[in-house]
Homo-oligomer: A and B are copies of this chain.
């Protein structure tokens, strides 16, 4: 699997994001025509991501947003009832999509090393498509209400747990080493986050998400390789 394959299989665009947001929140959205809502939500969300990337969600005024999205204040408030609700809608919708994509990519039949490879790639590719959202969520999580913040933490635990389960399975089968699986999972997550938190750096250096993913996998596999004290299964747990 590479990024191109991934894009062809999973089909998630900004438009899907907006359309789903519309269906999820249609009770609260005063405008009723789907096409209009989708079009405007797209402008709103793009503007939120852009301004938040530059100076943070808290520092973004509704007037900033109105200017960037090219809509009046009044029009904006037809789509959400408060700035906080806007934040929540974006967070919730993103979580739903990530959740779904991660769950779909898990294949109970595959071997642990394939599962791990698949999961790491999927997460990186997902964060490449939805980079603005991933960055936004990481930076703005602390501004959420307690209830919403707990959801973010639950998400973090959820993805970590999946990694740990795979590592344990591989460890039991002798494919991976017997080190601390939870810490290993944390390192993997740190490397995944690095990709969307420092994206500017990799853009500048022209490192593609595929190159990055390959490197992370190599890095992780070097650590996971079981101790090969004798002439046993010394190499290659590797690749498709």
Contact = CB atoms under 8 A, between A and B. Distances in A.
Number of copies: 2
Contacts of A143: 55-56, 59
A83 to B, nearest CB: 12
A221 interface: yes
A240 B239 contact: yes
Interface stretch (A16-24, A72-80, A126-134, A191-199): A191-199
A7 interface: no
Nearest to A160: B201
Contact of A237 (B58, B191, B221, B229): B221
A193 B193 CA distance: 10
Interface of A: 53-56, 58-59, 139, 142-143, 179-180, 182-184, 186-187, 189-191, 193-194, 198, 201, 205, 207, 212, 214-216, 218-219, 221-223, 225, 229, 234-240
26 contacts: A54-B142, A55-B58, A55-B142, A55-B143, A56-B142, A56-B143, A58-B58, A58-B59, A139-B139, A179-B215, A186-B201, A187-B191, A187-B215, A187-B216, A187-B219, A189-B194, A214-B240, A218-B223, A218-B238, A221-B237, A222-B225, A229-B234, A236-B237, A236-B239, A239-B239, A239-B240
